[in-house]
């Protein structure tokens, strides 16, 4: 049995339905990230947001990025954030005040960003040749290790620096009088 091209009753294509689903899940969980009082829960909402983004990357035809998103963001960064949350929440923990006192100014700034972006998107013709392309993973790898070798190497040095810097910053300072272990 084959899957029909469009959804039988509504007549919308599967891509559209998946796009709307992922978009709603992504924006909803992003709003939860910035509004929830309990920071652990906003960390968990962030994972949902990243997962929906991975779905959008698949829809955009680059599965390699979706896999990277799952590995790096859901697998590594989320765990790092959750650990940091658990290390820094005091018992007095969930503050009475979630936002700073000038949160309305931040809301105005965010709404201004939306207005500017939508205005620019609506008023610009992003090339008449804008058609869906399918990216092939092999081509991406060839490009990464030929044209983009310098950024690749620079990023590896940056990662090394970040690892060393992270360890140095987060390391508990040894007391002089304690015996070294």
Partner 1 sequence: MANSLDAYLVLSGLLFATGTFGFLARRNAISMLMSIELMVNAVNLTILAFGAFLPALKDHASVIALIVITVAAAEATVGLAIVIAIFRNRRTPLVDEYDAMRQ
Among positions 123-152, residues that touch partner 1 (CB under 8 A) are: 126-127, 129-133, 135-136, 139-140, 143-144, 147-148, 151-152
Binders of partner 1 among residues 8 to 47 (CB under 8 A) are 13, 15-16, 18-20, 23, 26-27, 30-31, 33-34, 39, 42-43, 46
Residue number with CB closer to partner 1 (5 or 129) = 129
As a whole number of angstroms, the distance between CA 89 and CA 37 comes to 13
Residue number with CB closer to partner 1 (132 or 176) = 132
How many C-beta neighbours within 10 Å does residue 156 have?
10
Query: Tokens in use for 113?
Result: 């960003």
Query: Tokens in use for 81?
Result: 């954030």
Residue number with CB closer to partner 1 (1 or 69) = 69
Binders of partner 1 among residues 75 to 94 (CB under 8 A) are 76-77, 80-81, 84-85, 87-90
42: left (phi over 0), alpha (psi -120 to 50) or beta: alpha
Distance of CA 9 to the CA centre of its chain: 34
């Amino acid at each position: 049995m084959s899957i029909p091209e469009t959804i039988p009753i509504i007549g919308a294509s599967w891509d559209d339905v998946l796009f709307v689903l992922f978009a709603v899940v992504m924006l909803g969980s992003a709003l939860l990230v910035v509004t929830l009082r309990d920071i652990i829960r906003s960390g968990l909402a962030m994972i949902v947001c990243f997962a929906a983004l991975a779905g959008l990357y698949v829809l955009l035809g680059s599965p390699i990025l979706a896999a990277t998103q799952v590995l790096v963001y859901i697998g590594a960064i989320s765990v790092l954030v959750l650990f940091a949350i658990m290390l820094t929440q005091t018992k007095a923990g969930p503050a009475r005040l979630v936002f700073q006192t000038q949160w309305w100014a931040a809301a105005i700034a965010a709404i201004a960003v939306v207005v500017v972006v939508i205005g620019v998107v609506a008023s610009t013709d992003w090339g008449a040749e804008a058609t869906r392309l399918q990216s092939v993973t092999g081509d991406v790898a060839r490009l990464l290790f030929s044209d983009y070798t310098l950024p690749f190497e620079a990023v590896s040095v940056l990662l090394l620096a970040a690892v060393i810097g992270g360890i140095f910053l987060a390391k508990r300072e040894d007391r002089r009088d304690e015996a070294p272990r």
